[in-house]
Structure 1
Amino acid sequence: MTLRHCSSLCIRLIALEAGQFTGRALRDWVLKVASGAAIAAMSTCVLAHDTWFRLAPRQPGSGLLALQLGEGTRYPKNEGVIPGSRVIGAGCVDEQGRKSALLPRSEDGILELRSRLSNARAAACWLELPPVELQLTPELVKVYFDEIHASPAVREVWEAQQKSGVGWREVYRKFVRVELPVPGAAQRDPVSAGALRRAHGFPLELVPLGEAFVQTGVPAEYQALADGKPVAGLPVQFVSVRSPLGIWTQTDAQGRIRFSLPFGGEWLLRATALEPPSSAQAPWRSRFATLTVQVQ
């Protein structure tokens, strides 16, 4: 795997996600980000291109919560801007179960979204992005499989497909969640997280379980769901904002993970479910899911 191959794929993925560049604009944008993508590729060469929520560093106040939608090859480094026009199925809920819209606000370097949460003390927000089609070389597919921890069964299907002379064509979708305390909220009585943790029926989502917020050194449970049903045997990586070295684990028969995080702060859970094509003419289909949690 060469740096040139890896960085060029990363740039292609970012451009596809943005879905807004053509001609000279695309050329100028690629030149602008190429050096940053190359540096990221040199250090990790990560091809599983993730999208995530982060709390915006500047909060607007007046009962508004501002989130940023990050995009890149290595969390938390942002490498592209997703247009607000591509956001679908977005919303938030507070600890009382009150729902509110999550709307794109600005796209200056990174997409910011806002939700009016009034006097909420904690919130969970979510969104999905529409499908994107992608073609990869066999060399890039191999690295892609390694980065998402693809199963032996998936690799066997791809090997047979290669032998028959069929190339890689994929349609992927992305589903993003976050759970966090609301900045500046008054700390009164303990808050239950139960109302924040309802599934939304996405084709893939990672959902915390239980009533307690995630705490350092305390085992917490998460569940991977597809259309509301558990996803067994799904590889899930935990990545801290403090370190690029992630921790891999796998869901059990009920799609659950019980895991204790070693230190506090912001953590990202990331997973990719990859489905072989139903016929030689059909594409592979993948679903990327991320969940950002604040570990107390």
Structure 2
Amino acid sequence: MSRHRKALLAASLAACSAASWAHDSWLRAADAQPGSGLVALDLGNSARYPRSDGPTPAPRIAQSGCVDEQGTRTALLPRGEQSVWLELRARLGAARAAGCWVELKPKDIALTPELVQAYLDDIRAPQAVRAAWAEQQRGGLPWREVYRKFIRIELPALRGADAVDLAALRRPRGFPLELVPVGSQPLRAGAPGEFLALADGRPVAGLPVEFVSRRSPVGVWRQSDADGRIRIALPFGGEWFLRSTVLDVPATPQDAWHSRFANLTVMVR
């Protein structure tokens, strides 16, 4: 085996093992579409995209919706739990493109120290987070966390592959954390693309974001600049998944951690 192939294999194994806890959620277009102006989306979640470990219960959804290229909003509603997905549908009529989103309600969890270490490594947590956790460990305190998830998808070609102005469906939703494509043009393989990391509409600097293709388990990491922007030329087309997590350091070691997950699915031509 060549040195290059060995390095790729090692990176792949590291990516899969490091993701042993941190569960992301994502939206993707269902393989079978209902037609008649309806669009079906699957909401999945697991330790590593694109596998899904099971459906998210519909009552976990705090809000959801879609917007088309004209800026017209429509409801995105749960239709039913499948084997590993929660199916949602939106009536988009003759829309040529759409952007959809789901916010999940806060959920409490507790983790063992071993899982916390894998979690922090997986999301590339900054030193301030690691130092705060080390202080909690010295005090014999457990890891308690309340997490929230903010999930987006871009559907750039619902009716054919003609170029569509995508600016309206890329507008920020004002979530506590979100990843948004910049500009009005479709993303193209090998061409420079730009994304924006936002919290409550404000740029987030220094945010680690992983770009994962449906074609490969090995992700590509980038970090947002001082203006919250991430510039990258994705190497090939198809479905790409963006993932990032922010852990807010507790005010005191006795308090629970609060985390925000931002996930985005895009199609690259």
Shared fold by TM > 0.5? yes
What residue number does 1:193 align with?
166
What residue number does 1:259 align with?
232
What residue number does 2:141 align with?
166
8 Å Cα contact 2:135-2:253 kept in structure 1: no
The DSSP-based 3-state class of the residue aligned with 2:120 is helix
- Change in 2 beyond 3 A, CA 1:281/1:195: same
- Change in 2 beyond 3 A, CA 1:51/1:257: same
8 Å Cα contact 2:18-2:122 kept in structure 1: no
Structure of greater relative contact order (alpha carbons < 8 Å, 6+ residues apart): 2
CA RMSD in angstroms comes to 1.6
8 Å Cα contact 1:65-1:182 kept in structure 2: no
| Bigger proportion of residues as strand | 2
What percentage of residue pairs aligned between the two structures are identical?
Answer: 57
Pick from 134, 138, 141 the counterpart of residue 116 of structure 2.
141
- Change in 2 beyond 3 A, CA 1:179/1:222: same
Pick from 83, 89, 92 the counterpart of residue 63 of structure 2.
89
Query: 2:180 aligned with 1:207, yes or no?
Result: yes
- Change in 2 beyond 3 A, CA 1:62/1:168: same
Aligned-partner residue type, residue 143 of structure 2: W
Aligned-partner residue type, residue 64 of structure 1: L
Unaligned runs of 5+ in 1: 1-39
The DSSP-based 3-state class of the residue aligned with 2:221 is strand
Query: 2:256 aligned with 1:283, yes or no?
Result: yes
Deviation at 1:240, TM superposition (A): 0.2
- Change in 2 beyond 3 A, CA 1:101/1:227: same
8 Å Cα contact 2:15-2:219 kept in structure 1: no
The DSSP-based 3-state class of the residue aligned with 2:164 is coil
What residue number does 1:155 align with?
130
Q: How does 1:1-20 map to 2 (within 5 A)?
A: none
Q: How does 1:1-296 map to 2 (within 5 A)?
A: 44-46=17-19, 47-109=21-83, 110-183=85-158, 185-188=159-162, 190-296=163-269
The DSSP-based 3-state class of the residue aligned with 1:128 is strand
CA separation in 1, counterparts of 2:242 and 2:15?
Answer: 23
Aligned-partner residue type, residue 114 of structure 2: E
CA separation in 1, counterparts of 2:183 and 2:31?
Answer: 29
CA separation in 1, counterparts of 2:111 and 2:55?
Answer: 22
TM-score, normalising length: structure 2: 0.91
Cα-to-partner distance string for 1:105-130 (whole Å, 9 max, x where unaligned): 11121110000111011110001001
- Change in 2 beyond 3 A, CA 1:49/1:187: closer
Unaligned runs of 5+ in 2: 1-12
Where do 4+ consecutive residues of structure 1 move more than 4 Å?
40-43
Cα-to-partner distance string for 1:133-155 (whole Å, 9 max, x where unaligned): 11112121111110000011111
Aligned-partner residue type, residue 221 of structure 2: W
8 Å Cα contact 1:264-1:295 kept in structure 2: yes
Deviation at 1:228, TM superposition (A): 0.8
TM-score, normalising length: structure 1: 0.83
- Change in 2 beyond 3 A, CA 1:194/1:261: same
Cα-to-partner distance string for 1:209-239 (whole Å, 9 max, x where unaligned): 1111111011111111111111111100000
Deviation at 1:280, TM superposition (A): 2.8
CA separation in 2, counterparts of 1:268 and 1:101?
Answer: 23
